[in-house]
Amino acid sequence: MKVLHAAAEVFPLVKTGGLADVLGALPQALSALGTDVRLVLPGFPAILKGIVSPERVGEIGPCFGAGKVALLRGKMPATGLVVYVVDAPYLYGRSGNPYLMPNGQEWPDNLQRFALLGWAAAHLAAGELDASWHPDILHCHDWHAAMACAYARANPVARFATVFTVHNLAYQGLFDPDDFQGLGLPASFNTPVGLEYHGQFSFMKAGLTYAGKVTTVSPSYAAEIATGEFGCGLEGVVKSRGSDVSGILNGVDDVVWNPAGDPNLAATYSPNAMAGKHLCKAALQQAMGLKVDAGVPLFGIVSRLTPQKGLDLLLGAIPALLDGGGQLAVQGSGDAPLEAALTAVARANPGRVAVRLGYDEAFAHQMVAGSDALLVPSRFEPCGLTQLYALRYGTVPVVRHVGGLIDTVVDATPGALQNQTATGFMFGPAEASALSEALRRATQTFAQKQVWAQMMKTGMAQRFSWASAAKQYLALYQDARHALDSEKIG
């Protein structure tokens, strides 16, 4: 089977979140199962710089406001997977965040930038841009690539099936209805049963509506987005797709995230040789300016600093964390008010709270390894990867009972502790008091060294494999192909 993945970012070339990690790992896992996998990406500077042996496949010509557009073909570094790059300097030749201007606002031409990505992906899948290869499946990721599903549906003789994965439904790619005409789609697509969305039109809705199959990155999130609480106004569209919507849990790249061989750590360790874990904690405390003390619980956060991630809940729970004798280390960036508030708390509590603004991939590994517990207090969480990394590194997650966190963490109830299945601490309501109670439970358990050590061991034994996820995607691809063939016959 031949599969083309369309997305806006991929690790290690461009990363703003978990989407990049998925695109860095899933295609490799599919390839290991014998699938012919390729990627198509926008020509951001870091992508053009990072691909190996690029060659020009052909000229696309002026479109979507760009005077010069070409398609390049090269290989991903390290893996050697074939990657296509849409080279449009006028639209993509910008440094920094791929979606936002330096002032934090969206680029005003994001419609053109990501409509082009979807258009190119659909035409590439149709065999029109590289005559030597066309896929059986076009797999599009999040709103940035979702328009490919609409362009594919507009082609009545498309020979490929489409799959669309929702990584985060809250980011929908909403645009002014007057701009619809620039997409080159039939007017019938700009209706309530198409892209129209409450007086705007939505790229995300294009994927939900027109893809042959829709997935999310965890089974629980697939169920949640069909509800008013988590559906972000699109729950009706999700429900209308019925059994075409499913959830496949993300995995962990166990080469990149492996405490036994991680070059970013002060010391490596494994379940049967944990001394390095203690050295990592001391190194993290020192690096963050915290008091070096093995006896206090160190809670870490590696996250975008946004209300979605529950960081405002954390602000209300910090007094409980400190009253319990804990330390807090934060790495992340995001909303200016949250950055300022957390920085103020750190200034007021030297040696006990530390904040490092910005994101550093190597230091993120050090944060996960050096913390005793990792906080993921999200209001909603499609899958969550940091809690998976935490489990792999013997770092106990403290999470909210939502989305993929439900599917990956076993709460330390008395029964789970007794039968040694507990891997973390979970709380329900999106309230600071509920998080405070979870922190209290974690602090009390940390004092019980044998119980805590068992939780670490149980967590490290969990396996969230990309090989397993890839097998599920292959089965889904087969279903999508069968549905497409049946539709054509019908």
CB atoms within 10 A of CB 390: 31
Average pLDDT over residues 453-467: 96
The DSSP-derived string for 457-473 is HHHHT---BHHHHHHHH
pLDDT one-digit tens code per residue, 74-101:
999 989 999 999 999 999 999 889 999 9
What is the token pair recorded at 424?
């973390």
pLDDT value of residue 168: 96
Q: How far is CA 326 from CA 15, 76, 296, 444, 473, in A?
A: 31, 43, 6, 11, 42
Task: Pick the closest to residue 366 from 242, 470, 266, 468 (CA basis).
Answer: 266
- Whether 490 has a pLDDT exceeding 80, the answer reads no
Q: What is the DSSP letter of 233?
A: T
Q: Which amino acid is at 225?
A: I
pLDDT one-digit tens code per residue, 225-249:
999 999 999 999 999 999 999 999 9
What is the token pair recorded at 409?
């963490």
Q: Cα separation of 65 and 171, whole Å?
A: 24
Average pLDDT over residues 60-79: 95
- CB distance 382 to 400 below 8 Å: no
Strands of the 36-42 sheet, one edge to the other: 52-59, 70-75, 82-87, 36-42, 2-6, 137-141, 161-166, 213-216, 245-247
Q: What would be the CATH architecture of the domain defined by 2-251+466-489? A: 3-Layer(aba) Sandwich (3.40)
| CB within 8 Å of 414: residues ≥ 6 apart | none
Q: Which amino acid is at 61?
A: G
pLDDT band at 489 (very low <50, low <70, confident <90, very high): low
3-state helix, strand, coil in the chain (%, to 5): 45, 20, 35
Long-range contacts made by residues 62-68, C-beta under 8 angstroms, separation at least 24?
A: 63/116, 63/119, 64/88, 64/91, 64/112, 64/113, 64/115, 64/116, 64/119, 64/182, 65/90, 65/91, 65/109, 65/112, 66/90, 66/91, 66/112, 66/116
pLDDT one-digit tens code per residue, 114-145:
999 999 999 999 999 999 999 999 999 999 99
The number of C-alpha atoms within 13 Å of 67 and in the hemisphere containing its C-beta is 1
pLDDT value of residue 488: 60
Residue 167 three-state SS: coil
% the chain with pLDDT above 90: 94
Task: Pick the closest to residue 10 from 41, 48, 36, 49 (CA basis).
Answer: 41
Rounded to 5°, the CA angle 98-211-230 comes to 70
- State the chain's mean pLDDT as an integer: 96
Q: How far is CA 320 from CA 7, 330, 429, in A?
A: 41, 16, 17
Q: What are phi and psi of 462, to 5 degrees?
A: -70, 145
Number of residues that this document lists for the chain:
490
CATH class of 275-460: alpha beta
pLDDT value of residue 202: 97
Torsion of CA 114, 115, 117, 118, to 10 degrees: 120
pLDDT one-digit tens code per residue, 393-446:
999 999 999 999 999 999 999 999 999 999 999 999 999 999 999 999 999 999
Q: Taking the domains of the chain in order of start, what are their residue ranges?
A: 2-251+466-489, 275-460
pLDDT band at 484 (very low <50, low <70, confident <90, very high): confident
Average pLDDT over residues 452-474: 96
pTM: 0.93
Task: Pick the closest to residue 408 from 431, 387, 437, 386 (CA basis).
Answer: 387
Average pLDDT over residues 263-288: 98
Q: What is the DSSP letter of 131?
A: T
Pairing relation of β-strands 174-175 and 200-202? antiparallel
Q: Cα separation of 131 and 148, whole Å?
A: 18
Q: Which amino acid is at 263?
A: P
The DSSP-derived string for 82-129 is EEEEEE-HHHH---S-SSB-TTSPBPTTHHHHHHHHHHHHHHHHTTSS
CA 299 to chain centre: 22
The DSSP-derived string for 264-276 is TSSS--BTTB-HH
Q: How far is CA 62 from CA 91, 98, 116, in A?
A: 11, 21, 11
Do 2-251+466-489 and 275-460 come out as alike in CATH topology?
yes
- Whether 188 has a pLDDT exceeding 60, the answer reads yes
| CB within 8 Å of 140: residues ≥ 6 apart | 5, 6, 7, 118, 121, 146, 148, 149, 162, 163, 164, 165, 207, 211
Q: Cα separation of 405 and 297, whole Å?
A: 22
Task: Pick the closest to residue 416 from 434, 441, 394 (CA basis).
Answer: 441
